[in-house]
A and B are shown apart, each in its own frame.
Chain A
Amino acid sequence: MSGSDSGGLMSSAGLVRYFDAEDRNAIRMDPRTVVAAGMLFGVLILVLRAL
């Protein structure tokens, strides 16, 4: 049955809502880039602390 309480937009505990609509101007990032950048940042701080 469609149209139930989970209409695709809402996810569990979705405090931040994401819609399908997106602007052409928006800067898009690959999720892999985000994960790589985050991990690198963590490692960088670890290295800095160890120095």
Chain B
Amino acid sequence: MSWKETAEPVLTRMPTVARPEGHVPFKRKLLWTAGILVMYFFLTNVTLYGLQTTTQGGDFYGQFRSILAGASGSILQLGIGPIVTASIVLQLLGGADLLGLDTENDPRDQVLYQGLQKLLVVVMIILTGAPMVFASPLLSADPQVAQQLGIGGRGVEGLLFAQIFVGGILILFMDEIVSKWGVGSGVGLFIIAGVSQRLVGGLFSWSGLTPTASDGFVAVWIGIITGSAELPGSPLTADGLSAIFLGQGMILAMITTVLIFVVVVYAESVRVEIPLSHARVKGARGKFPVKLIYASVLPMILVRALQANLQFLGQILHSQWGGMPAWLGDYGNQGQVTEGLFWYLKPIQSPEEWMWFVGATVTAEWWQVLLRIGVDLTFMIVGGAIFAIFWVETTGMGPEATAQQIQNSGMQIPGFRRNPQVIEKVMERYIPQVTVIGGALVGLLAVMANMLGTIGQVSGTGLLLTVSITYKLYEEIAEEQLMEMHPMMRQMFGSE
């Protein structure tokens, strides 16, 4: 008996959000999307009950927060972390073809896949949530609440975990609602929401308005120009220049941010077009685009999440294992890793972390810094390519699946026989190569952006994801509008 029969009773009974019956008008879709977004922002602002807020130790996800969404110390502490981690596991299993599920054709397998997906997310919520609450000092129980309720510190920790658990499940269902009733997907929406918030903050925040906030790009430059902010020296000296570009002036971060926008939007339009013609209707022509970022930027989030989970493991080891050797990892009093294996595995986040030649902020030797950059680059480029390949395979964008799609739509490649195997052969010339190049390129871009810094510390991956998801969303909205105006198009796009 295969695992399918054994797991079937559980996997088929996973709760799901009902599908809309019939067509959902575009305006209704926008309403659902906006509603979920409001709910998301509301929940990120609800602090956990029983959490000791006076000694906030810092964020678990740290620099990964911008791509994993959610907010530290809130009900949505976990963000989309569990969904992403579960997706990694599924990608690896699916990519290695260990699942034995035919999600292209078999409806039974599709149901099983959906169930497995959900079950894995729940497992990941427990696996990441439990250590955060029970095994680390970053989320600690409020002794006052423990006394009030008379259940002790452990009891309050249990309450904390229960809330984080519910929050994780809510995120999962919110994603499902957006996917089925709204535009785009919840995961994409939450990433854009978080990154955009940081980006706007990094540009426009002003300490005159909120005393706790640091000045954003605009406020700093108004200060510099009007002379109310002091530069450490004349702009013509090395100190002054470094302050303008790297320090408070943030010019380099601004350039990187704009550059990433431009590069991603440009790369979205770089494609190999395979001409198609209709087998029976003469003159009906089309093109199948194989985009440079064919697998989109999404596999990148999987690589970053893998790194995030490694760092998470380091933190848990550090807090639980007193005799952790220094070669494995040494942690500062803020819980940040300062040397050892986990330091090398931690991706570079800002110029201050590696530019040993300008400031005295880098404590490590230059060769250590170079080694760490090398590890980060290798991780992202190789990982980006590998996950892009898996992504293409498991989401039905591979040569075989697309050949079948083209065949089913009644199209053929002019000059070739009308046969799925023949179309597949042609597709095999382009899709794998483009996928690998695209994945590696996106990995390189993400690391470069991180090294040069971004406005609002949104991280290169966060920025790449946001621009690319927004672009996709724009395309999807355009398609929706076209279908609203011409109901006939609905059939052609095959959505109903």
Contact = CB atoms under 8 A, between A and B. Distances in A.
Interface of A: 1-23, 25-31, 34-35, 38-39, 41-42, 45-46, 48-49
Contacts of B87: 15-16
A20 B16 CA distance: 12
Closest 8 CB pairs of A and B: A13-B188, A12-B472, A21-B107, A3-B409, A19-B110, A1-B286, A23-B12, A3-B405
A3 B411 contact: yes
Given A2-B494, A11-B184, A31 B16 contact: no
A21 B110 contact: yes
Given A8-B495, A35-B177, A41-B170, A19 B49 contact: no
A27 B151 CA distance: 35
Interface of B: 12-19, 32, 35-36, 39, 42-43, 46-49, 75, 80, 83-84, 87, 103, 107-108, 110-111, 113-115, 117, 121, 163, 166, 170, 172-177, 179-181, 184-185, 187-188, 191, 276, 286-289, 291, 294, 296, 298, 301, 395-397, 402, 405-406, 408-409, 411, 465, 469, 472-473, 475-476, 479, 492-495
B298 A13 contact: yes
A26 B493 contact: no
Dominant SS among interface residues on chain B? helix
Contacts of A18: 114, 176, 179-180
A32 B39 CA distance: 12
24 contacts: A1-B286, A1-B409, A3-B408, A5-B289, A7-B405, A9-B396, A12-B469, A13-B187, A13-B191, A13-B296, A13-B465, A16-B87, A16-B121, A16-B176, A16-B185, A17-B395, A19-B113, A22-B111, A29-B16, A29-B17, A30-B17, A31-B181, A39-B39, A45-B75
A11 B289 CA distance: 17
Nearest to B35: A35
A12 B402 CA distance: 18
